[in-house]
Amino acid sequence: MAKRAAVINDLSSFGKCSLTAFIPILSVMGHQPCPVPTAVLSSQSEFAHAYCKDLTEVMPQYLQAWQQSGERFDAIATGYFAGGKQIDYALQFIDAFGGNCFVAVDPVMGDNGEWYPAYDRAACRKMKALARRADVLLPNLTELCMLTDADFFELTARCHEKDYFEQIAALAKSVCAKQGVIVTGIAHENDICNLVTDGATTEIIRSHKIGERFSGTGDIFSAVVCGCLLSGKSLTEAAEAAARFTERAIADTVGEPHNPMHGVNFEKNLYTLAEVK
Check pLDDT > 90 for residue 153. Answer: yes
Please tell me the least confidently modeled range out of 44-53, 57-66, 103-112: 44-53
Secondary structure letter of residue 188 according to DSSP: E
Check pLDDT > 90 for residue 122. Answer: no
Q: Where are the alpha helices (DSSP H) in the chain?
A: 19-28, 59-69, 84-97, 121-131, 141-148, 152-156, 164-175, 217-230, 235-254
Q: What is the pTM of this model?
A: 0.94
* Greater model confidence, 3 or 189: 3
C-alpha gyration radius of the chain: 17
**pLDDT score for 82:** 92
Q: How sure is the predictor about 273, in pLDDT bands with cuts at 50, 70 and 90?
A: very high
**pLDDT score for 2:** 84
User: Average pLDDT, stretch 162-175?
Assistant: 94
Q: How many residues does the chain have?
A: 277
Mean pLDDT, rounded, of the chain: 92
State whether CATH 3.40.1190.20 applies to domain 4-275: yes
pLDDT tens digit sequence for 56-77: 999 999 999 999 999 999 999 9
The percent of residues above 70 in pLDDT, for the chain, comes to: 99
User: Average pLDDT, stretch 128-151?
Assistant: 96
DSSP track, 14-29: SSS-THHHHHHHHHHT
pLDDT tens digit sequence for 17-38: 999 999 999 999 999 999 999 9
Q: How sure is the predictor about 277, in pLDDT bands with cuts at 50, 70 and 90?
A: low
Check pLDDT > 80 for residue 175. Answer: yes
Check pLDDT > 90 for residue 275. Answer: no
User: Can you state the angle between helices 235-254 and 217-230, rounded to 10 degrees?
Assistant: 140
User: Average pLDDT, stretch 215-228?
Assistant: 95
User: Average pLDDT, stretch 2-22?
Assistant: 95
**pLDDT score for 120:** 80
Domain ranges of the chain: 4-275
Are the C-beta atoms of residues 26 and 223 closer than 8 Å to each other?
A: yes
Which of 118-127, 135-144, 171-180, 202-211 has the largest mean confidence? Answer: 135-144
Please tell me the least confidently modeled range out of 107-121, 214-228, 240-254: 107-121
Q: Give the up-direction half-sphere exposure of residue 169: CA atoms within 13 A in the CB hemisphere.
A: 16
**pLDDT score for 258:** 81
Please tell me the least confidently modeled range out of 65-74, 137-146, 200-209: 200-209
Q: What b/e sequence results for 50-86 when a residue is b if at least 16 CB atoms lie within 10 Å of its CB, and e otherwise?
A: eebebbbebbeebbeebeeeeeebbbbbbbbbbbbbb
